[in-house]
Chain A
């Protein structure tokens, strides 16, 4: 199975990708995660190398990730893990800019069955409404040539997130589902591993 994770940057795509990978790995699947984020060189999936190793998750990332080289290079083949029977999670960069990198795989994984999940955060500035989020979904689809198939409501305020943050966003999430015609998925998935800033003691 192929899961493609997209959304506005800051929606929590990387957080969701990591949690989905751990969730599937614990359920016994052989998981590969591809870090396709060539937009943000700072906070990214490639930072989670050791956590992935502990859980037998394969990480595919640019050989320049987390280095001083700001080079948008992607040197890996996405079809290989799929043909080896692995579950592939593709963590795409934010917005249409990030989604462009996905377009290169249109004729490979784009021809296989995939689930493309839009990660929504209604507390992100300028994507506060269903309409604004739908606009970004359309831009991502246009830039990548892939079709979004479902929506994950990941509404959060970073470290200030409370259960109410998500609760209050549910009406907007349902509205996005209605106007896009796409289902909301993983409504009960626990998000318990977070991308952390380097300010805190381990």
Chain B
């Protein structure tokens, strides 16, 4: 189809419809409100249910119900709202229920502010809910990629029975870019576990995260952990720009990766061997891809719209063999390409140290 101009939040919503999402439950919050506004108009026209819940907590528990019934389902919020959903997300993990959760990040902590931020990295990748639970975390950096990753998120969530998060930010949610929708054939994973009516032909299916016997619980956790390990082996995604001969590798995801790309281009124009490594999956983190990107690196610079969270994963992946520096702005302030360029130059001057 011909390209159309869409807002990031609208693109997330339209992609969900095309990926076969039939139930959306949410509660409004800036800067993701257009996701819900769009779905309230369009989802019912496409045979789905849009429901504005009484709270974020209610919404995520409705997602639990729809997911248990085997339906493709989604919720969407921004940082403080995601914190409210935390308990429900852990329950979804514990009951092995697939769903898609969108976080269009804003400044925190607390109510913070409505401007873009990437300060929920730790929450998304390490502890979105309590217990030994993880979720897929996809970090788009363009409106087109928001479309593509929503489709992948639904497929992978179903395949692994693990919730998937799209970790965007206010900048991506609000910006307009041309997009096209590729032919999407909703991947139909069999769901023999779904609570969709036994018809007297099979035992009851129960979606549950409560185990009365510790050893049974432990076994279920290790089984789930083996799926997380499998995700780390086969489901990582990353993007490279000018990394082949790069001595200074900038590591950044989402909106900040676009700012960094401008800075890397400018550095190259000035003869500095700079490159950009962009993780697309934040969990599982693309460790091997990062090592490949840094094969000629003398210094690594992680750039985030936070006080420095992904920088820890970058250091771990590189096993501290290459010095990793950090530059960030936070609280809704977006770093400029010039600021990042200045940091690249500084590292380039001291790259021998």
Residues on A facing B (Cβ under 8 Å): 9-10, 40-43, 68, 70, 121, 123-125, 128, 156-160, 197-202
Closest Cβ of chain B to A106, distance in Å, is: 25
Task: Pick from A123, A159, A198, A199 the residue with the most CB of B within 10 Å.
Answer: A199
Known contacts: A198-B336, A202-B338. The answer to whether A124 contacts B178 by CB under 8 A is no
Determine whether the beta carbon of A42 is less than 8 Å from that of B170. yes
- A40–B30 Cα distance when bound, in Å, is 10
- A125–B147 Cα distance when bound, in Å, is 14
- Bits for B245-267, please: 1 = Cβ < 8 Å to A, else 0: 00000000001001101110110
Contacts of A41 in B (CB 8 A): 30-31, 114
- A90–B178 Cα distance when bound, in Å, is 27
- A70–B170 Cα distance when bound, in Å, is 13
Interface residues on B, range: 35 or more
Determine whether the beta carbon of A199 is less than 8 Å from that of B262. yes
Determine whether the beta carbon of A198 is less than 8 Å from that of B171. yes
Closest Cβ of chain B to A23, distance in Å, is: 23
Determine whether the beta carbon of B174 is less than 8 Å from that of A43. yes
Chain B contact residues, majority secondary structure: mixed
Contacts of B174 in A (CB 8 A): 40, 42-43
Give 9 closest A-B pairs by Cβ, nearest first.
Answer: A68-B113, A42-B174, A199-B258, A157-B178, A125-B4, A201-B337, A160-B178, A125-B6, A124-B5
**Knowing that A157-B4, A200-B337 are A-B contacts, what are 13 other residue pairs whose CB atoms are under 8 Å apart, sorted by A's residue number?**
A10-B6, A40-B174, A42-B171, A42-B174, A68-B112, A68-B114, A123-B2, A123-B4, A125-B4, A125-B5, A158-B5, A201-B262, A201-B265
Contacts of B177 in A (CB 8 A): 158-159
Determine whether the beta carbon of B262 is less than 8 Å from that of A125. no
Instruction: Tell me the residues in window 327-343 of chain B with beta carbons closer than 8 Å to chain A beta carbons.
Output: 332, 334, 336-338, 341
What are 25 A-B pairs at a CB distance below 8 A? A41-B114, A42-B31, A42-B174, A42-B175, A43-B174, A68-B107, A68-B332, A70-B30, A121-B5, A123-B3, A124-B5, A125-B14, A156-B5, A157-B3, A157-B4, A157-B178, A158-B176, A158-B177, A160-B3, A160-B178, A198-B171, A199-B261, A200-B262, A200-B337, A201-B266
* B115 in the interface (beta carbon within 8 A): yes
Known contacts: A68-B332, A201-B262. The answer to whether A157 contacts B5 by CB under 8 A is yes
Contacts of B336 in A (CB 8 A): 198
Closest to B10 in A: A125
- A70–B30 Cα distance when bound, in Å, is 8
* B7 in the interface (beta carbon within 8 A): yes
Contacts of B10 in A (CB 8 A): 125
From the candidates A121, A123, A201, name the one contacting B341 in the complex (CB within 8 A): A201
Contacts of B107 in A (CB 8 A): 68
Closest Cβ of chain B to A165, distance in Å, is: 9
Closest to B143 in A: A158
Contacts of A40 in B (CB 8 A): 174
Contacts of A128 in B (CB 8 A): 4
Contacts of A157 in B (CB 8 A): 3-5, 178
